[in-house]
């Protein structure tokens, strides 16, 4: 057996998205040879950029004879394939849903090479030397309940040019009877779980992503994140993303005893449970943050790098949740402010007061920007689908920072009413007669959008969004 010694660690792309060839340094002398078959730190570094796929099981298939042929099997996990002894002809076919379905890649593999095989790509090989040991790492434990996709080794469409004709080699009965490409059911993408699916943001996410078989929309009745047992609530290896739209948002009630307990349970304990699951199973966790993590004293817009300084209980719980999510290796924190969606909110209230002839008093010393849930949902989708760098992104409407009083006047004007019917008052005067505890509000809730724009996130103008929202609300 001839091994290519002296290679440097590197990867080569293939026509199949995500399938890469890894060249491995092999060191040999008269005694034999040595290689680092999988070395996480080196292989996931900036220069090599292999996925940090978190292998949990190592399997070896030993093959006595030349021509042993196995496959084509697409499994619901990632796979890292190499050869310990001998040599193989490897063939891979993309059996995932999408434009690359049916794409083929073949190569001869000796111990100086490896292949990273993404979930859903069909894997097969034929041995070219006796006593060939085919070894592979996978990032899930084998399960009889796992869903596989198969393709016939002799499929005429992909037309793999096997070195040894298939009628001259030993093939298992199962492999002989696998379907042709035209009869293959493509493997769907990993599942996405949306929590808080019955809330304002949850409904916007449902509209954004639609009813797909690979998306689970869960309300609290379906999945109570704070009740315990989350670890076994789903087969988490089947999930690629969790979008956490569940939260306790009653900022004033959070200042009371029962409300405080509920806020910590939903915004911290439940988030910690999701973070543990996401970290354990390599899931991308998307979490929604709030302007309430700041005290509002900054002169200027808050950037993603500004340290939290919450004033009240709600803000404290959101800041704690953010800190927890930031420890998840694959995470997006979407920080937003003044959220408006499908349901009762400030804009709907002002439009209703205007129509009913009520002249409201509105706070004029708190400044920020409205954010519409459909724009948050679109931003979440953008981050996931473009595989933006993990981290924290500010997502609000764009344009000048304005007060609630300014927004109320705009709503009155856009709905055909006199904006002078709105009176501006300070926060202290507005809440002076409150009979229950009132949460302190940040006076400045403006979030800096520069980093989000660089990531390609669309932050539409607030005024245009407000017109769109009011027109939509008027027709529903």
Positions marked active-site: 73, 136
Burial class (CB in 10 A: 0-12, 13-18, 19+), 176: exposed
Alpha helix ranges (H) inside 284-372: 313-325, 346-356
Q: What is the DSSP string of 168-186?
A: GS---HHHHTPPPGGG--P
- As a whole number of Å, the CA-based R_g of the chain is 28
32-35 and 121-127 strand pairing: unpaired
**Distances 237 to 33, 50, 145, 232, 465 between C-alpha atoms, Å:** 36, 19, 12, 11, 38
Burial class (CB in 10 A: 0-12, 13-18, 19+), 144: exposed
Q: Which residues pair with 125 in a beta bridge?
A: 70, 90
- SS3 call for 351: helix
Element (H, E) at 69: strand 69-74
Tokens (6 digits) for 240: 């690629």
Q: What is the DSSP string of 220-281?
A: TTT--TTSS-GGGTS-GGGEEEEEE------TTGGGSHHHHHHHHIIIIIHHHHHHHHHHHH
Which residues, other chains included, contact 375 with Cβ-Cβ below 8 Å and sequence gap of 6+? 395, 397, 458, 459, 460, 465
Q: Which residues pair with 132 in a beta bridge?
A: 63
Q: What is the DSSP string of 190-208?
A: PEEEEESTTSHHHHHHHHH
* Number of neighbours of residue 403 by Cβ within 10 angstroms: 17
Q: CA dihedral defined by 430, 434, 437, 442, rounded to 10 degrees?
A: 0
């Amino acid at each position: 057996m001839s091994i290519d010694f002296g290679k440097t660690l590197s990867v080569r792309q293939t026509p199949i998205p995500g399938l890469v060839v890894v060249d491995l340094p092999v060191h040999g002398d008269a005694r034999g040879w040595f290689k680092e078959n999988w070395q996480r730190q080196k292989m996931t570094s900036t220069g090599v950029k292999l996925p940090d796929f978190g292998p949990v099981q190592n399997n070896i298939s030993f093959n006595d004879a030349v021509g042993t042929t196995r496959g084509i099997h697409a499994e619901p996990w990632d796979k890292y394939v190499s050869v310990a002894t001998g040599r193989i002809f490897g063939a891979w076919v993309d059996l995932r849903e999408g434009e690359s379905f049916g794409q083929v890649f073949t190569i001869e593999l000796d111990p100086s090479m490896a292949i990273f095989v993404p979930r859903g790509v069909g894997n097969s090989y034929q041995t070219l030397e006796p006593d060939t040991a085919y070894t592979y790492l996978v990032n899930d434990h084998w399960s009889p309940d796992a869903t596989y996709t198969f393709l016939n080794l002799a499929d005429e469409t992909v037309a793999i040019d096997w070195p040894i004709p298939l009628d001259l080699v030993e093939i298992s009965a199962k492999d002989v009877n696998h379907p042709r490409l035209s009869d293959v059911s493509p493997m769907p993408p990993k599942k996405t779980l949306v929590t808080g699916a019955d809330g304002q943001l949850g409904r916007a996410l449902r509209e954004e992503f639609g009813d797909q078989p690979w998306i689970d929309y869960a309300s609290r009745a379906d999945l109570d994140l704070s009740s315990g047992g989350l670890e076994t609530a789903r087969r988490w290896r089947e999930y690629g993303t969790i979008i956490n739209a569940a939260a306790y948002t009653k900022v004033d009630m959070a200042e009371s005893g029962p409300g405080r307990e509920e806020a910590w349970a939903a915004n911290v304990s439940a988030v910690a449970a999701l973070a543990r699951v996401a970290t354990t199973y390599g899931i991308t966790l998307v979490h929604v943050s709030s302007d309430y993590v700041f005290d509002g004293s900054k002169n200027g817009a808050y950037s993603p790098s500004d340290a939290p300084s919450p004033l009240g209980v709600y803000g404290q719980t959101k800041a704690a949740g953010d800190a927890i999510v930031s420890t998840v290796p694959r995470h997006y924190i979407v920080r937003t402010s003044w959220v408006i969606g499908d349901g009762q909110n400030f804009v709907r209230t002002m439009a209703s007061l205007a129509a009913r002839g009520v002249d409201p008093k509105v706070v004029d010393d708190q400044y920020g920007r409205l954010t519409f849930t459909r724009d948050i949902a679109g931003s979440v989708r953008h981050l996931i689908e473009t595989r933006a760098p993990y981290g924290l992104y500010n997502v609000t409407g764009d344009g000048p920072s304005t007060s609630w009083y300014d927004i109320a006047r705009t709503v009155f004007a856009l709905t055909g009413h006199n904006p002078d019917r709105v009176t501006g008052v300070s926060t202290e005067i507005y809440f002076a007669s409150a009979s229950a505890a009132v949460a302190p509000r940040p006076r400045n809730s403006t979030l800096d959008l520069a980093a989000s724009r660089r990531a390609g996130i669309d932050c539409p103008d607030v005024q245009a969004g407000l017109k769109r929202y009011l027109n939509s609300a008027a027709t529903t």
